[in-house]
Amino acid sequence: MSERNKEILVSFIESVWNNGDIHAVNAFLADTYTIYHDPGDPWDKQTLSIDGFKERVRISRAPFPDQNFSIQTLVAEGDLVSMTWLWKGTHTEEILGFEASDKPIEMSGVTLYFFENDRISGHWQVADRLSVYQQLTGNQNQADA
């Protein structure tokens, strides 16, 4: 089961998050998707329907349409898969008050994914949003906060 969940997750990240194939969400998600913990994410603590999740993907990808997650390591046990990842994207649309800059932006994070019967039903995640903030503002002085 764990190996199968890993394969499903790799396919989900590639189709939905890297390629922006919104329709593919139907093939991967459980009936609801809960964001248990994701500080700084606008949907933190929410439980989304499949349509709600699709909207989240659209809105999240819009400022960085060429965005790419590079999976580093997967650890699976039972219904859980933990994924370390690196991310990059070009900032080509406004995000939260930061006008499009065409800057290449990098981020990293670790996400624990929850599965139910071969479907992804939620996550618990921390992303390095301080680095993103520093890259958007050009201010490196807060690196050690």
- The residue ranges that bind a copy of itself (CB under 8 A) are 2, 37, 39-40, 42, 72-73, 75-77, 80-82, 84, 96, 98, 108-112, 124-133, 136-137, 142-145
Residue closer to a copy of itself, measured from CB, 48 or 130: 130
Minimum CB–partner distance for residue 11 and a copy of itself (Å): 19
Residue closer to a copy of itself, measured from CB, 54 or 91: 91
Minimum CB–partner distance for residue 94 and a copy of itself (Å): 12
Phi, psi values for residue 55, rounded to 5°:
-65, -40
The DSSP 8-state label assigned to residue 76 in this structure reads E
Minimum CB–partner distance for residue 116 and a copy of itself (Å): 16
Residue closer to a copy of itself, measured from CB, 25 or 107: 107
For the sheet with 119-127, list strands across it.
47-49, 29-37, 119-127, 104-116, 80-90, 68-77
Residue closer to a copy of itself, measured from CB, 3 or 31: 3
Give me 138's structure tokens.
Answer: 């050009």
Helix (H, G, I), strand (E, B) or coil at 125: strand
Kindly provide the b/e burial profile for residues 106-127, where b requires at least 16 CB atoms within 10 angstroms of the residue's own CB: ebbbbbbbbbeeebbbbbbbeb
Minimum CB–partner distance for residue 9 and a copy of itself (Å): 13
